[in-house]
Structure 1
């Protein structure tokens, strides 16, 4: 019996991008995903963590998720939605709404739990996937983000994080082998940073037991597909059946060239090993474009002028601009306004401006001779300049006043 499912992850619902809400972009993605579910009618939808952007998501972000689950259930009542918590999620929070999730044929695994006898609570981690006739066609081994406090110190196998991680995988896979039949597939869903994975600058490093990345050796050969979350670039890790689906929208400017996708997977255990696994990348349309502008000032202005024009009424739907200009001179007065004046009106959001020295040797030399820790005033001046702002004596004076007040406050506390 074949199992048909979608693999997605790292939605980061509720994210703010340079103080701009991504709600519109997420709505466009979810609308697209609902259409894929309607057309393809998969047995399951796997969401491999980082459902939300923060552990305490705003009500609007939570509403987006639950409305999606309700809409998906209406379009494909037989489809199960299986979710795990990522490092951005609160595992306890997403488990609290289990009665609501059950109404939409959805389940979530937020934390690792242990039995009274210090053995692993496997039942919650090993989820059956059914076909339309309610026959089990696969088992999903669901491992949320593994926090050290939740997996160490329970028995002799969990004395440290690395031992505990190996123990968890061994116990879970061993139990799955006992339960599966020859015509059932095994899928492992995990939120982790695997060795060899390519990162972007929007991912928080995951460090467990002083080791940031885990080995694919944790995955037994009996596993037919590993659905990973955490890294935002769609990619395989060493083997074609071990994959990150990636995020559905670019979460930083470093992800502009990512081909965002949902992975459609079909596993038929009855077929020979070389043909039992099929997958296809369902490419997600980008609803709002991001632009990185680089070069000397004259080149930057030329690139800004060449951008497409045409008014976009809603500010939440306007395109994002990141400017990095190359110069060895101090920033011009009102440089940001000059950039804004050149941009076609009411179409773009200029969210980032940074300055890059043309003479890197000079910059590196200056960095080498500055051995003393920077003062608060120096740090503030550096950040101010990197933002492309002109020098402002009044702002500098205000900052100096704040620094003096902070120092006086610390002196008062130390004198008590």
Structure 2
């Protein structure tokens, strides 16, 4: 039995205000072909289907068009989707009757029974082979908010695993343990148990700039010990860099299929093919995702403005339609403010088939050794706009604001009614 693990599509995402519909369409077309070529039985999508909780109609159409095309190409395909922290659980589950009729199971919310206990049945999904027989069981656990986990009244006794953890950690570990127990009671000796989750695990490597931190109470990361050793495979979402969890081959983040920020330029984005052999995982194989649009950083490290402009003028890129032109981040090392920086960069790029997405300035001056003492509320109330401007200038540039900048700021605040405020 073959599974394909993917997550963090972030449909509807923009990169510094540039639309990425074309890139997502290329990925989804590739994924449909891959599902057929790899003879996949079940597609696991571990959360963050959309980039925000109120996705556009176009983003919804991309998802539903993909599901229709995938099912048409691979008639026996089963799809299991869980909600991530970017998704709206209710919106994701809304078309459930239609989706289930076409082989797609969506778990957005953790439902509760009449007595207040977690409805574990909704989290347990039988995974079927191409002949329709059950080959595995999936614990489809969406992103968990504090109200989703078992309450402390349901918590473990002092001699049980998880005792002594904070309520969120304790409740999460308990929920997975209860769901696993239910799966084990249903699974025969030849059927595997697979777990899904959307969370930040201890030791997980984050992607700078593109991941929204998950902090529940004071809890940032969950321990891998919450997964029973008999779970054949753990399919995780949230972290955009493909990685193993705690060095375990069968506990994986597949990563996002697209680079969601320039910090991900060097990642090999991928999906993972999992081959089950009875109750165990036989192999986990990364399948690289082709990059439809390149992300460029010029230069590779911040450099003085003249060097940067020379590098931009030397760029030699093939002609391409606007939607296929590379995104560009320009990295400049500055001694101080450079008011005409963007104009000079745009002039150096004139006529080149590239999209200027970001100019990243780096200051030469070192941060002050001592941190200024925090102001009291009374002191903050006494600050005038020009006081704040002076402080921010010194913090950013390591020097006093020049008179011409102070004069320009005063003119601006006067025009905006700053004196009246």
TM-score (normalised: structure 1): 0.87
| Alignment deviations for residues 308-345 of structure 1 (CA, whole Å, 9 cap, x no partner) | 2333332x3221111221121331x5221211122262
Asked whether the 8 Å contact 2:11–2:59 carries over to 1, the reply is: yes
Matched, 1:237 2:245: yes
| Alignment deviations for residues 149-176 of structure 1 (CA, whole Å, 9 cap, x no partner) | 2335484329932221122011101111
**Two-structure CA RMSD over aligned residues (Å):** 2.7
Matched, 1:82 2:80: yes
Matched, 1:247 2:256: yes
Distance between the aligned counterparts of 1:168 and 1:228, measured in 2?
A: 16
Structure 2, unpaired ranges of 5+: 157-165, 398-403
1:377-396 correspondence runs (5 A) = 377=389
| Alignment deviations for residues 324-376 of structure 1 (CA, whole Å, 9 cap, x no partner) | 21121331x5221211122262411112123222232xx435x7458667955
CA 1:116–1:216: 2 relative to 1, 3 Å? same
Q: Which is further off, 396-405 or 135-144?
A: 396-405
Q: 2:291 aligns with which of 286, 306, 314?
A: 286
Q: Look up the match of 2:159.
A: none
Distance between the aligned counterparts of 1:399 and 1:35, measured in 2?
A: 58
Q: Look up the match of 2:90.
A: 92
Asked whether the 8 Å contact 1:162–1:208 carries over to 2, the reply is: no
Distance between the aligned counterparts of 1:229 and 1:400, measured in 2?
A: 50
CA 1:162–1:104: 2 relative to 1, 3 Å? same
| Alignment deviations for residues 89-109 of structure 1 (CA, whole Å, 9 cap, x no partner) | 011111111022123210100
Distance between the aligned counterparts of 1:95 and 1:259, measured in 2?
A: 31
Distance between the aligned counterparts of 1:218 and 1:93, measured in 2?
A: 29
Q: Look up the match of 2:50.
A: 52
CA 1:383–1:343: 2 relative to 1, 3 Å? farther
| Alignment deviations for residues 62-118 of structure 1 (CA, whole Å, 9 cap, x no partner) | 100000000001001111110000000011111111022123210100011111122
- How many residue pairs get aligned? The number is 392
SS of equivalent residue, structure 1 residue 211: coil
Q: Look up the match of 2:193.
A: 186
Q: Look up the match of 1:347.
A: 353
Distance between the aligned counterparts of 1:344 and 1:218, measured in 2?
A: 55
CA 1:399–1:108: 2 relative to 1, 3 Å? farther
CA 1:245–1:403: 2 relative to 1, 3 Å? farther
Q: Look up the match of 1:228.
A: 236
Distance between the aligned counterparts of 1:319 and 1:12, measured in 2?
A: 19
Q: Which is further off, 53-62 or 333-342?
A: 333-342
